[in-house]
Structure 1
């Protein structure tokens, strides 16, 4: 009787060749960690050593479980059947988890990452810790066509209780692997044997060295990862893979084209959002992270909950959609438009009141506008969030909290949302890249939705087609009812968007105004400090004082009178120093906030200006004292009062001139304000007349012949609505003008802080907070990573 023999390369065909790439392979390993009840699974990719370490804090495996489950291909260990060998252990202290890795391709997928893996595992069952088990697998052997599975031995050792894993244990495993390779002479060529020996010999892993290095790195970065150790009271499974396929670098960094278009890498497309952490109370069963230790010494979080959409980002979005699709495909839930919530029911007409095969499921979705003018999100946050949705926006699908690939990828618009929008943006409101949220499935309710063997989405059976149809119908119907100009429920969206656009336009106009005033203010400060640093202000003071002193020194009673001397010196003392003071004075702009840098410059300016003014006052007093001495020496007492009066009159004339300039400026502003206000009021009155005339004209040209009662009612209602809308708009505009005038009047009457001063205070505080935010280091990129030296 003949038997079917299994070649070793069958594993390569079932594993590496079935997996779409390294990101998908890592996703499978993450799922295995989930099935082992791990709370955390983390990857450290150390580029300097071409080494990838994947660790989880799950239940781990005993030696028996490792041999019977992990090393047995096609095992029924995760398949529920009366003849199966039994399901894996569960953590009774946690909520039961549906099994994700049923297909058995997770362990084989490791070959996609690298040709060799060291497996370290330690079981933890009901707080009872097992021994550390270590095994070494060279996947290259399984790609050789002449070898059968029984030709390949997998070296495995189990440490004694309390024994610490050391390099000698790893060396023993490698020696067994080398012995197995050498025993294959005659079955494979010597060239292949030599190549395999070099590959195994280059596998260099010292457990003590890497434990210390990872711990030191964690201390430097402030990370707490003791739970990922196999020492002490910890269990779990570690995979040490080396060398790592060069494709991983491309998967992380993306091609040059992707970088130029600001897209994310293939790794992030596949692994970001492995569990749903994007909104509150999502309760992800496991957290997955990927840390990239670059050649430049950085440690970058490529995959973590902070890199994905956060609950805060989800909460501040413009619109939200949350609810349940029942067994007939009908949606019942809430639609929140610009914060205003409404109950909504969306039927699925194609269902014909028959139960859907895909089963009931939940939807929780957020949406932001792609144009800032339409969004209520603050400008700085909106830009960051829009950039994020550009890269990773989309509708993700989760089954029992674990992401189903490739849904959510911005290139996988499985509901054809962008295709419809390209036909008519007015008709089809939604854009795939502006949404972020999840379809939430469960294995219990959605068992007919089956994944493909290579983990590339669902098999396109009837259940999947129904799921697509139900969701497409939802987006089409909600867009029509709530976002289309003539939609039945679109009033909230249209009115709020219009108000949002008006406010945005005002803010942009004000931003230009603020920037202009800040620029002038900054340039004035720069000019002042340049002269101050060069000592030019002090030089001008000395020049004016010297000019006055020269007049005093050159005075001769024989050639001029004391009255002439007083006039000439006071003219220099009052006018020349007055002009200098005017040049020194800088007015702080009102009604705008200052950045921290500008505020600090303003404080420095005031201190420097006061010192200069003190010097001016000092020089003025010296000159005035000399002048009085001259008057006493050369003048007569009868003319002294007159000369003093002339000095005071000169000062009064100078001050009056300054005050007149200010009065004229204020009156000009008031005249312009009155003119603008009257112009706005007249325009509003004319607009109201024109709209009313238009309505009357349309009414007079409407024929009532053959018109039904319902049609007459609609004609009357439409005409009245046009007058009401026009009147409402005009009244709002005039109301705004009145409010502004009253605010100015009341502020003046009560002598309170003006609105412009309040705005300036608030904006200055905001500018300071923004400066602090912009100077914070990026959470995703932290220097002081590995400084890896020889092991």
Structure 2
């Protein structure tokens, strides 16, 4: 007698052992890694993409693949020990794709069957170097027939030699698979397909017949696999994917929890918490339509990396020795202390689980309790929200379900629910435990791949971790912690944050008030101007009369003088505590232009009129008028002083009232139940106890005075009429905001610089290859459309010419200064901007003085400066009807002038535009003019912008280059 195996056993070992979709994908990815793949993908093609008729799911890896013999001897053999034999791959070879040997992620020999979980039918394409491409077709539902024995199942395999051969072989594979249904009876004469299983049979047959692969996808799948010598890898094409696979591509709220579950389960497939530990790349590309392609793994945010621990408010970093002891460090905000712990449990060899490193970061849930600034806090909080949790890795591969937000295996949230002072929240932490098969051989994965087996070693491992985190909270992190280092720092950060928040709120109110005034003041001014003009007209009419009397114009003169005094009140008060935005300054500039226009027209007219009025009046009448004006000035000043005094007294009274209330509260708290406590003292011991309580309460209340009352008194004592506190604070805040902004831009610029170097290197190689290809195509004359080919060649030549013009601009270090004429510069610019000058119909010209002028300088420096200025000019002239650029030279001042007819630079921006990272252009980086000024300064030249009409003849933007000394 011998065992016989039902086909159903394979279904139970495969699909039956897989808990969910993430587990199935993870198992196949692990197999790909074991096959020395560097790139693992799970591609989803929806029926809205190109000519895909029904959704397809494709698992791919660029590993070593399989030959026909490997399929027959390994892949189709369940429980094979090929991965568990340690001596299989000891050094780099063809079997490792000449890569360093890897520790195997799979070990039971059944992970490959998880493909059955993903859907049906399935086509496997696999290719080993030096062997033909193999195609295997199967529908795993066939194994659900409990009458079939494994010996009864036929799995067709075919060689694929070419693109043309592929579709023919696919149809053959499908027909060969359908032969499994030709056999009606088993060896005992029983029906294989009973009546109640005929529905399953029809479903399988229909699915197999409908299985199609679009042409574009066939080429994509086979492109890198048909090369006999070099092609390698494995691809599983699932024709009717699991419904869940399609549902995770939707964008509705109904399936949000499931999408988050799948994404968080597949994120962190390998241990990216460790620096430079990216051992394999994973992606889940989703192809919805030609305009929508994205990686599902990034839908809810990027996964963590080693740098994220720098953004944690608490970091635990150390090693457990496998016997209950931890040694490492504890970082509490910016303070690092050595920390060790031993669980006082009974030691038992049977429960030894082996040593392992652990590193955990904790992010504060409230921004006010974090040391991070807003953007950094939001960045790490978003990551924690999407992927927060304590992950377990074995030999760098994630062990599911650890790390999932809903899998709190150490019971953090349960303890918090009972007592929040336990502090640790599973939802706010991120980090890892790193296990290995060698060190931690008693911590064993379940066959279902859902966690670790609950044996003695695991229970001890879990108990040690729980005890460790409890002790850590009680000693440092809980609300009643024995050591106050963390709590003190947390409280200080919270107080500072609250103070800043209140100050920001006050600044926000000022901003709103300033913005509101910018809207209201123009309307106010229009009323003022209308009244002023009306009075002038009446005054002029009466003054022109031959018999004008002082009494006739007295009221008009009085009102006119009042309006003159009120003119200053028409200018909005610019806040000192914060720096107004450029938009606000622009609006203020436009408004001030109106006021300036008023002064230059109406106000000047009034001055002439007042001279005529004085000629008409007698000295004694003018003296009366003078006296009245004197009294009006005096009254206005007294009114302003009185208003300020009232405001000062109101604020003082309010502060004093608040001070008295807080003071009384503190004294009352000390005296609370004083008589009751005194009467309760009946022994020396009770005197000692109550004295300690009283001293403790006194110290607490004294701290309250130092925190609440003293700071205000100290601040008031430092106030002085000689120092404008608002102005000083505003200046420091503006400087801080500028520094913070510049730092962010500097990081981006550094990355941009690296990218430019890479692009430059790639461009050089690309141009060489394209040139070579075009030359070869020219020789063989493959193109029947000569005109189109020449057009292609001409366009590439233009692109190459542009690159040649540009490339010297960032290779300045080895360039020698030379004599460059204005004519040389003009010709270079015309060549560089030829297409754009023509497209925008720009009148680009230079004067004779400019063309004849020359200077000694490194050519790339002066070219870069002009390119930057002209490029900006073209941008700002786009919406102008008249577009002109003029290059000129003033010999008397030795200055080069570059002006255009675009937008004029506002006066408040004239100096700012040369600051690094300052830009008024949407998405502008604000680097060009800064670098232009710096490079010119190094060549003993300077550049500035001006609105002086002597220079700015085109009334747009105007730049002047002059000698530095």
Query: Under TM normalisation by the shorter chain, which class is it?
Result: 0.7 to 0.9
Aligned counterparts of 2:224 and 2:644: Cα–Cα separation in 1:
71
Describe the superposition over 1:79-134 as per-residue Cα deviations: whole angstroms up to 9, x where unpaired: 228999x999763865543222222333211121121233233336xxxx655433
For structure 2, the residue ranges without an aligned partner over 5 or more in a row are 185-191, 748-965
1:608 counterpart SS class = helix
Determine if contact 2:81/2:108 at 8 Å carries over to the other structure: no
User: 1:243 maps to what in 2?
Assistant: 240
Determine if contact 2:323/2:353 at 8 Å carries over to the other structure: no
* Range with bigger deviation, 398-407 or 720-729: 720-729
Give the Å deviation of 1:616: 4.6
1:592-607 matches, cutoff 5 A: 592-594=578-580, 599-607=582-590
Determine if contact 2:312/2:361 at 8 Å carries over to the other structure: yes
User: 1:777 maps to what in 2?
Assistant: none
Higher relative contact order by CA 8 Å / sep ≥ 6: 1 or 2? 1
Q: 1:469 to 1:252 in 2, by over 3 A?
A: farther
Aligned counterparts of 1:602 and 1:660: Cα–Cα separation in 2:
32
Q: Which residue among 541, 551, 561 is the counterpart of 1:553? A: 541
Q: 1:25 to 1:751 in 2, by over 3 A?
A: closer
Give the Å deviation of 1:474: 0.8
User: 2:598 maps to what in 1?
Assistant: 615
* Range with bigger deviation, 3-12 or 551-560: 551-560
User: 2:871 maps to what in 1?
Assistant: none
Determine if contact 2:395/2:435 at 8 Å carries over to the other structure: yes
Determine if contact 2:579/2:730 at 8 Å carries over to the other structure: no
Aligned counterparts of 1:10 and 1:206: Cα–Cα separation in 2:
34
Aligned counterparts of 2:656 and 2:439: Cα–Cα separation in 1:
67
User: 1:51 maps to what in 2?
Assistant: 56
Determine if contact 2:315/2:331 at 8 Å carries over to the other structure: yes
Aligned counterparts of 1:689 and 1:183: Cα–Cα separation in 2:
93
User: 2:396 maps to what in 1?
Assistant: 401
Q: 1:722 to 1:70 in 2, by over 3 A?
A: same
Give the Å deviation of 1:732: 5.4
1:276 counterpart SS class = coil
Describe the superposition over 1:564-598 as per-residue Cα deviations: whole angstroms up to 9, x where unpaired: 4664443343333654663x42222331355xxx5
- Alignment TM-score, normalising by the size of structure 2: 0.66
- Alignment TM-score, normalising by the size of structure 1: 0.79
User: 1:496 maps to what in 2?
Assistant: 489
Determine if contact 1:153/1:180 at 8 Å carries over to the other structure: yes
User: 1:781 maps to what in 2?
Assistant: none
Give the Å deviation of 1:739: 5.8
Q: 1:180 to 1:253 in 2, by over 3 A?
A: closer
Aligned counterparts of 2:216 and 2:275: Cα–Cα separation in 1:
39
Determine if contact 2:479/2:487 at 8 Å carries over to the other structure: yes
For structure 1, the residue ranges without an aligned partner over 5 or more in a row are 216-225, 774-791
User: 1:663 maps to what in 2?
Assistant: 641
Determine if contact 1:252/1:265 at 8 Å carries over to the other structure: no
User: 2:281 maps to what in 1?
Assistant: 287
1:293 counterpart SS class = strand
Aligned counterparts of 1:706 and 1:551: Cα–Cα separation in 2:
95
Give the Å deviation of 1:445: 0.9
Aligned counterparts of 2:504 and 2:82: Cα–Cα separation in 1:
64
Aligned counterparts of 1:57 and 1:652: Cα–Cα separation in 2:
93
1:434 maps onto 2:428 in alignment: yes
Aligned counterparts of 1:308 and 1:581: Cα–Cα separation in 2:
58
User: 1:115 maps to what in 2?
Assistant: 120
User: 1:454 maps to what in 2?
Assistant: 448
Q: Which residue among 79, 84, 87 is the counterpart of 2:84? A: 79
Give the Å deviation of 1:241: 2.0
1:468 counterpart SS class = helix
Aligned counterparts of 1:444 and 1:82: Cα–Cα separation in 2:
15
Aligned counterparts of 2:285 and 2:266: Cα–Cα separation in 1:
12
1:625 maps onto 2:608 in alignment: yes
2:430 counterpart SS class = strand
Describe the superposition over 1:424-482 as per-residue Cα deviations: whole angstroms up to 9, x where unpaired: 213x2222212221121111111111111111111111111111111111111111111
1:119 counterpart SS class = strand
Q: CA RMSD in A?
A: 4.3
Equivalenced residue count is 727
1:158-237 matches, cutoff 5 A: 158=159, 165-166=162-163, 168-182=165-179, 184-187=181-184, 195-206=203-214, 209=217, 235-237=232-234
Determine if contact 2:321/2:355 at 8 Å carries over to the other structure: yes
User: 2:711 maps to what in 1?
Assistant: 736
2:431 counterpart SS class = strand
Q: 1:473 to 1:45 in 2, by over 3 A?
A: same
1:101 counterpart SS class = coil
Determine if contact 2:388/2:404 at 8 Å carries over to the other structure: yes
Determine if contact 2:311/2:380 at 8 Å carries over to the other structure: no
